[in-house]
Amino acid sequence: MDDGRSDSDININESRSNMSESVDYQITGHDDRWERVIDDMSTTATEYYNAGWETLELHPGDILPIPPEDGGNEISITSSDGTDYTPTTNDTTQDESEPHARIGLDIIIPDNEFSQLSDITSNKVFDEYESFRAERGDILFVVVAIKASADDTVVFVPLYYQSSDAQRMAQRAMTRGKISLFVRPLNNDRQVVFSQSNPELLLPAEFET
């Protein structure tokens, strides 16, 4: 896989919900490759753990580009307690034509993993990430290592999506100069958002600058 490094920031919105498992159709026919991606992630996570880092590996079900390629409505996230945590102050220039639009990947994980994610990201500044990419046909596979370097903490997020389903997302992310990972359980009332500069590191090779 290709790898890259860049900066990251994080926003957290939380309330209560439950989770049921979901599997996305996009991975059909590529199970072997996805298993190798997960194995590679686990190997890398073990290396970090043995070096003294606190690690968390996520295992998504559905992963959906935002905005969707068909122009349909995206999923809206609401928070019952209205809390919005922003541990970092990093920002990039936004696309002024759609300053509040969500651009990135909607990532659904099991409820127990989301609880762990909420705990591990609490009161930490995630300021760096590495990406490891591979493409097979129209499918892009990525492992993102998102780091809170001052706390020796790293969250691993494996991703997959079809390039043909993500053209609008990719073009808007490149225009904005930022891409976000919206990580949530199935019920859409809480999320952890990792916002990352250099979006091309999470996009198909055609968008490399």
pLDDT level of residue 78 (50, 70, 90 thresholds): very low
Residue ranges of domains in the chain: 2-90+100-151+159-204
pLDDT level of residue 105 (50, 70, 90 thresholds): very high
Of 106, 131, 99, give the one whose Cα is nearest residue 26.
106
**Mean pLDDT, to the nearest integer, of 19-33?**
54
pLDDT level of residue 31 (50, 70, 90 thresholds): confident
Task: Summarize pLDDT for 122-138 with one digit per residue, the tens.
Answer: 999 999 999 999 998 89
Task: Summarize pLDDT for 3-13 with one digit per residue, the tens.
Answer: 555 555 554 44
Which residue is it, tokens 């990792």? 194
Task: Summarize pLDDT for 166-184 with one digit per residue, the tens.
Answer: 999 999 999 999 999 999 9
What pLDDT does residue 101 have?
79
What pLDDT does residue 188 have?
79
- Mean pLDDT estimate for the chain: 79
What pLDDT does residue 181 have?
97
Beta carbons within 8 Å of 44's beta carbon, 6+ residues apart: 132, 143, 145, 156
More confident position, 18 or 13: 13
Buried b (16+ CB within 10 A) or exposed e, 164-185: ebbbbbbebbbebebbbbbbbb
Q: Does an H or E element contain 172, and which?
A: helix 167-176
More confident position, 151 or 72: 151
